[in-house]
Structure 1
């Protein structure tokens, strides 16, 4: 198909079809820049300082472990420089944990008696970077040694795409819909897919998930179906992150019933604040309805997260300060910066963690990475508080 040729159509349906086909082909061509030729995602390598930081140790300690045989040498060495794959770092964690006198230092998995953490990100305001933020939190936690399960509860399947799966190309594959449908659901274990990042799995989505909204009308306890599906695989993970659709519908309510904590992303604009106020009023009324069906919602944490934050924008910072004064215990301290590094990565269905620092202006990368690290670290701290570690 010649993507530069003007579209000619005699009927509206033909015009719509041609537009769809042209956009699909253009996107596939664009994604070839980020994906391998077989359309599978791969993760970049990590330098010695990055690897040491992710393992919560020092470059000197890594060198010592290589020299004394504790850890094998990485496969990739360019001259005198070593580079590590995510798979190698994941295996290093297993080795170092066995030799460590401090349990959980290298494998911070939940321990006996610690409940699975299920976090839902939700807001019915589009453009609040909900899916992008979910992916960044997941990558942060996985790279820091946690076993993470992503659940894409949005029929648009944007999160599925960010994990390297094409929801259109793989039509017919099992998705989260198959695990929660009222009609012969499959085991959750058959839905979950590995991703390109060790420790990170996903229950993908497709457009068919919209059918669940219709099915739910026949089951007054529909909101428990995701909770039951997660329970089937809870021993395999430390944390579950649910990306909900940009609306307060049956799919979002299903996630709310399964969650142990909630994050509401919002941009620092008066329009977003007004919209979120309306959203919270609806949340309150729906929680009341769910509670009437003997499914008491009780969250460990309920937080607002500022996204697309611009520290140099005076008016937006005034609004952030206003929100901090208004909700001192609800607004997260960390914020997601509005950054060209994040925007550029998102265009290729990536996160900042997938970018190489040398690919863009280093100061831009460092600011974006520090922002996302801070958000991930705050989430981790709240998880560990729920586990009684802090």
Structure 2
């Protein structure tokens, strides 16, 4: 079971879109996929038509006194619009976690431990993390083998990326194995000088980390979210889906080489 996390310390850069689009493509290829919502805002949970304000059970239970056992974890999973995608949802109770976690040991590894107990149930896990460095993002980074950092192609997102890169460096100092990450340019509009200049600057500053793909502005993403379906189910030939399909091929090839 492979675990990828999607994170950035700036909101509105396409994290949830990245998770649901890659999940849909993986599921469409026959993989069993788990998506995990670690954002108190619950965008991923809401995408699949669950209300984070109303859920009685959620990922929050991973942070109780003991990590739930395998059967309890499976009971927390919800179905989605795709039969091969399961959701471990968020609830608004996550917003209280930072305060509750103060002084408690091992809180940064709860998600990693829970996922190990689900090994064999899924082929791929995708984690959607909150746009702030705290115990939830630390859990997302600690649990994954590959990190994807969506970066909106505009100036403010570029400045915010600097904070995220510093956070990754800090996490790498604490990890036994280096966390590899890829920057994924999103909301790209080649008609605007701002997008063009930002993409050029990303390649200049982070040549080794740049994914070989640019995700364009695509209204099909919004249409898919309105219907609560993965974008590839709505329009598999859309420009946005094609970009993520190219990204997925690259990621799977890299994963294959690392296992060789």
User: Does TM, scored on the shorter chain, surpass 0.5?
Assistant: yes
The DSSP-based 3-state class of the residue aligned with 2:87 is: strand
**Structure number with higher relative contact order (C-alpha < 8 Å, ≥ 6 residues apart):** 2
Q: Does the 8 A contact of 2:158 with 2:198 survive in 1?
A: no
Aligned to 1:317: 196
Instruction: Specify whether residues 184 and 382 from structure 1 end up closer, same or farther in structure 2 by C-alpha distance, changes over 3 A only.
Output: closer
Give TM-score scaled by structure 2 length: 0.89
Aligned to 1:136: 21
Q: Does the 8 A contact of 2:67 with 2:114 survive in 1?
A: no
Q: Of 204, 222, 247, which aligns to 2:107?
A: 222
1:33-52 matched pairs, under 5 angstroms: none
Instruction: Specify whether residues 326 and 280 from structure 1 end up closer, same or farther in structure 2 by C-alpha distance, changes over 3 A only.
Output: closer
Instruction: Specify whether residues 184 and 256 from structure 1 end up closer, same or farther in structure 2 by C-alpha distance, changes over 3 A only.
Output: closer
Deviation of the 1:256 alpha carbon: 1.0
What is the CA RMSD across the aligned residues, in angstroms? Answer: 2.2
2:115 equivalent to 1:236: no
Aligned to 2:250: 378
Give CA-to-partner distance per residue, 1:215-255, whole Å, 9 cap, x none.
Answer: 32132221111111000011111211110011111100011
2:203 equivalent to 1:304: no
Runs of 4+ in 1 over 6 A off after TM superposition: none
The DSSP-based 3-state class of the residue aligned with 1:280 is: helix
Q: Of 90, 93, 98, which aligns to 1:208?
A: 93
2:220 equivalent to 1:341: yes
| Partner Cα distance (2:84, 2:229) in 1 | 17
Give CA-to-partner distance per residue, 1:138-188, whole Å, 9 cap, x none.
Answer: 11111111111111001111101222333334x21x211112322674632
The DSSP-based 3-state class of the residue aligned with 2:238 is: helix
* Structure with larger Rg: 1
Gaps of 5+ in 1: 1-115, 358-364
| Partner Cα distance (2:39, 2:25) in 1 | 22
Aligned to 2:65: 182
| Partner Cα distance (2:67, 2:196) in 1 | 51
Give CA-to-partner distance per residue, 1:93-116, whole Å, 9 cap, x none.
Answer: xxxxxxxxxxxxxxxxxxxxxxx3
| Partner Cα distance (1:287, 1:220) in 2 | 19
